Amino acid sequence: MSEPTRVRVVVHGRVQGVFFRDTVRRVAREHGVAGWVRNRSDGTVEAVLEGERDDVQAVVELSKEGPPGAAVERVDVSDEPPEGLTGFEVA
């Protein structure tokens, strides 16, 4: 088992009202990634993802496309120190 990794992702574009958060939640849980996802007042979706590097990367890659109906313009990803999160929430 490798060292856990943590990233913060902010997704820009038409990403609210298209089941983006639920899609991120589902894929994160499938990959065993902990964290949370929420809509922000500026129209973006923000997520914190923590887990094995490859699993976290799979969720980041999903965020670059989103579910049908989404139109992702840009994804900002920043590394953060892991905090040992468990579970995944939609906020």
Which residue of the set 8, 14, 26, 39 is catalytic?
A: 39
Q: For this structure, is 39 an active site residue? A: yes
- H helices of 14-90, in order, are 20-30, 53-63
Which residue of the set 21, 26, 53, 74 is catalytic?
A: 21
Catalytic residues: 21, 39
